[in-house]
Amino acid sequence: MYAPTEKPNDFLSVATTSGGADCEAAGCSADTSFAPGASQGGEVGQSIGLFVPDGFEASSLASLSVFEAANSVLGYNHYAIRIYTEFGGQVRGAFGFSVVTEPLPTNTLDSLLIGGGRAVTQCSSTLFDYLRRERPVARRIAGVGLGTFTLAQAGLLDRRRATTQAEFAHELQSLFPEVLVEGDKLFIEDRSIWTSAGMTAGIDLALALLEGDCGPELVFAVARHLLMHQRRMGSQSQTSDLLDLVPKSDRVQRALAFARENLRLPLTVESLAEAACLSPRQFSRLFHLETGHTPARAVEKLRIDVAQTLIAQGRLPISAIVHETGFGDRERMRRAFHRATGASPMAVRRDTGRSVMA
């Protein structure tokens, strides 16, 4: 659960002077009315900072939307959200737009996220010194996507488990042999250092940070606010088969949406075909053509994915998860898990308990 920070905050005053429109768009209102350490509605605010290097990718900013949404759901600024560069001022993203930033604060940050990008050149040694200095002070530090490389270069990931975008995992490992790279995970936490894969995995990481602060109920509300179909756990593979389920036609998309929303129903090919307004035969054919999966297999993958998430959360008994995911009975779910993961649901629960929250 959330532990209030006792640290002073000298950077909030900077925010009122240098926080520009870009900063406000990311959720940090220039006239933010709360200050960490002071109560509002019985809650204490926390500072979330994102460091962006020159040439950062826009997806680095996406993780901030989680904390912005949390503020929106809560109805007040529980999180003070800031974007930083080494010395403040404008920084240019990989795709041409600029963001107004503040200089990195000292001894004040509760959580620091590090963004990255393909176009990012060498970061300065001052930054690495800063990260090494802040690591024991900040409650948690996270490398989002290629930001993992910055943490590795600063030596923060030595003998720690870490992940990054799958296509750069090999490079990360060869450049930094001391890092225990797990290139297929969505996100990993190892002793308060978090790392994630690229793109939307940063959002999943941010949701996990939020859950640590405020509990699962707020996370569910924020996920709904962000119109996320389902949350993904860190242990899930970046190359999850679910990511392949991106059909081109409206009709197959309708059927998939129907399946996601009605996972508890039997979901036969016939019922999915009806949702897609196609004959079962044509639906089957089209579905396989567009997703590379047969309808029954895709439904099973959806069920397993949701079941894995619920199992990892550990809040529901297996029998309730069986019902929620439409498996019908424990034996069917156990067999489906064994087919997909080679392990039983209980083994997955034990495994995720170790690897996600370790």
- In the complex, which residues of this chain contact DNA (CB under 7 A)? 268-270, 278-279, 281-286, 288, 294-297, 328-329, 331-332, 335-336, 339
- Least separation in angstroms between residue 72's CB and DNA is 41
Closer Cβ to DNA, 149 or 327, answer by number:
327
> What's the min distance (Å) between Cβ of 337 and DNA?
11
Q: Which is nearer to DNA, 40 or 284 (CB)?
A: 284
CB of 329 to DNA, least distance (A): 6
Output 118 or 332, the one with its CB closest to DNA.
332
Q: How far does the chain reach from its first CA to its final CA, in angstroms?
A: 16
Min separation Cβ 140 and DNA, Å: 41
Q: Is 171 helix (H, G, I), strand (E, B) or coil?
A: helix
Q: Which of 123/275 has CB closer to DNA? A: 275
Residue number with CB closer to DNA (117 or 295): 295
Residues 6+ apart with CB under 8 A from 158: 176, 178, 179
DSSP type of residue 56:
B
Distance of closest approach, residue 344 Cβ to DNA, in angstroms: 13
The distance of closest approach from Cβ of residue 262 to DNA in the complex, given in angstroms and rounded to an integer, is: 14
Q: How far is Cα 268 from Cα 283, in angstroms, rounded to an integer?
A: 12
Shorter beta-carbon distance to DNA: residue 230 or 268: 268
Cα separation, 59 vs 23, whole angstroms? 15
Positions of E strands within the chain: 39-40, 43-44, 46-51, 79-85, 87-92, 98-103, 111-114, 140-143, 161-162, 180-181, 187-190, 193-196
- Residue for token pair 């649901």: 345
**Residue (of 252, 232, 257, 243) closest to 312 by Cα position:** 232
